[in-house]
Amino acid sequence: MSDDTIIRVRDITKTYRLYASRGDRVKETFHPRRKAYHRPFHALRGVSLEVKRGETLGIIGRNGSGKSTLLQIICGVLQPTSGELEVRGRVSALLELGAGFNPDFTGRQNVFLNAAILGIGRGEIEKRLPQIEAFADIGAFIDQPVRTYSSGMYLRLAFAVAVNVDPEILVVDEALAVGDEVFQRKCYSRIHEMRRSGATILFVSHSAPTVVELCNRAVLLDEGELLLNGPPKLVVSEYHKLIYAPAHRVQTLRERLKTGHGDPSQTNACEGGQGSPSRDSSSSAQCMEAFLDPSFLPSTTISYEVRGARISDPRVTTPEGRIVNVLVSRSDYVYTYDVEFFETAFNVRFAMLIKTVTGFELAGAASFQPQDAYPVIDAGSRVSVAFPFKCALMPAVYFLNAGVLATVDGSETYLHRIIDAAMFRVQPSDSLNPRAIGIVDLFEDPIAWITRQ
């Protein structure tokens, strides 16, 4: 292993034996001819990987793809069925929530326990304890059994220990998803500090923008196999193509990624896969189809108090009226909702807003300027509001607000407002320019005009 390589995984396989019943396990153990009663399950299949010192590696893939298994093998929690592993340096891991904690020990006792596991002496950890307590910020709970902790408190203490023991390798497995936004920002700030100081970081997350922003390189795991290793933006894009592909095309995409034959981003997204995609962005976008995922619903919806009108049935549709929530970039859609008026309303306006997962307000619109508001809507009326828009957004998840305003007691106020009323996901498509960066894809074909001075 070269001097700048800190982790090397060579042809690692992890196989589990699955039994239909406990009895089958006993039968196999005592069968005179060693008859197999189990079914092998390959959590990892021949995975090879090298990580350089100071690198931040993103690991992405669907649930059950082998991400956590790979990290647990690197951390020494699991042993591989076959293959070789070399790790140079102290590893500090934030795996599944609460892993490595004794639930009957207090938080303080668990700090010393984790330090001992990492080979850190009691005297050294006593010196670091104040900064661990300050980072965790759980107050007097540091001296309470961790079984009394909430998931957020578990995370705070676990992360505080993981980043304050001077690890050469930090492993984070999706655990930050349970923290509140303020603590998440605190964690990411510390991760950036560790990157600048030269620490190596292995980072698992389902947040594509975070992987692209944080990591130098990314790998894609699927069904226990490493399909792609490369720049984060490319890997995330191919991951999205894989998870949104029609079922009959998934295996073809997997094989192309595994063998590296051709650029999957240039394959035809049309059903049947015949021919080459058009360079025209509109025709390329039409090659893919938006669709409705019934399980893809916001869990963070907040509805304001009703003051004479109620919004209902917020949805995104195609121009033809088909309800969708997985969209194709550069295609046209309509955000629409219904409003029922229980009282007569004056100077009525309707509004919408599109936001990112972090709450950043991307774009919004109102139906009229205040001076041009709809004069009167009678009680008992029901209206449907439609905001047509072109989806010029990069692949990610977005949220929609809805609001109806009117003049009440001389000032404009909300008769009803819903935060995170609906959500949609933008899937990767051939219409996206590969040079586009950021959140909004502004350019049909971005060209940098360069003038020599």
Q: In terms of domains, do 361 and 222 share one?
A: no
At how many degrees (to 10) do helices 122-136 and 151-163 cross? 130
Q: Supply the CATH number for residue 161's domain.
A: 3.40.50.300
The secondary structure of residue 53, as a DSSP letter, is T
Decide if 185 is inside a domain: yes
Structural domain boundaries, residue 159? 5-234
User: Which residue is listed with tokens 């293959």?
Assistant: 83
434 three-state secondary structure:
coil
Domain co-membership, 309 together with 405: yes
Radius of gyration, CA atoms only, the chain? 27
Last residue of a domain, one of 189, 215, 234: 234
Does residue 297 form part of some domain? no
At CA 433, angle to CA 428 and CA 434, rounded to 5?
Answer: 80
- 306 and 223 co-located in one domain: no
pLDDT at 225: 92
Provide the number of structural domains found in the chain. Answer: 2
On whether residue 225 sits in a domain, the answer given is yes
Pick from 234, 249, 284: which residue ends a domain? 234
Q: Which two tokens stand for residue 106?
A: 């207090």
pLDDT of residue 24: 84
132 is a domain residue? yes
Is residue 443 in a domain?
Answer: no
Joined together, the tokens standing for residue 123 give: 């005297």
Same domain, 18 and 149: yes
Residue 317: the pLDDT is 96
Q: Which residues of 240-278 are buried (b: 16+ CB within 10 A; e: fewer)?
A: bbbebbeeebeeebbebbeeeeeebbebbbbeeeeeebb
Crossing angle of helices 107-117 and 151-163, rounded to 10° = 40
CA angle 255, 259, 260 (to 5 degrees): 110
Alpha-helix residue ranges (DSSP H) falling in 231-304: 232-244, 247-259, 281-287
- Residue 358: give its domain's CATH number: 2.70.50.60
Residues 223 and 92 reside in one and the same domain: yes
pLDDT at 45: 93
Can you tell me the distance from the alpha carbon of 376 to that of 344, in angstroms, rounded to the nearest whole number?
7
Query: DSSP 3-state assignment of 353?
Result: strand
Give domain status of residue 453, yes or no.
no
Q: Are residues 82 and 229 in the same domain?
A: yes
pLDDT per position as a tens digit, 339-356 = 999 999 999 999 999 998
Check whether residue 199 and residue 320 sit in a common domain: no
234, 252, 277 — which closes off a domain?
Answer: 234
Instruction: Judge if 213 and 306 occupy the same domain.
Output: no
Residue 360 lies in a domain: yes
| pLDDT by 10-residue block (mean), the chain, 453 residues | 83 90 84 82 92 92 88 89 90 70 88 80 86 87 89 83 84 69 75 88 81 87 91 83 76 82 39 33 51 85 94 96 91 95 95 88 88 92 95 89 94 94 82 67 62 58
Residue 354 resides in a domain: yes
Picking from 209, 204, 188, 195, the residue whose alpha carbon sits closest to that of residue 437 is: 209
CA distance 264 to 253: 7
Residues 41 and 188 in one domain: yes
Question: What's the pLDDT score for residue 180?
Answer: 64
Integer Cα distance of 250 and 265 in angstroms: 14
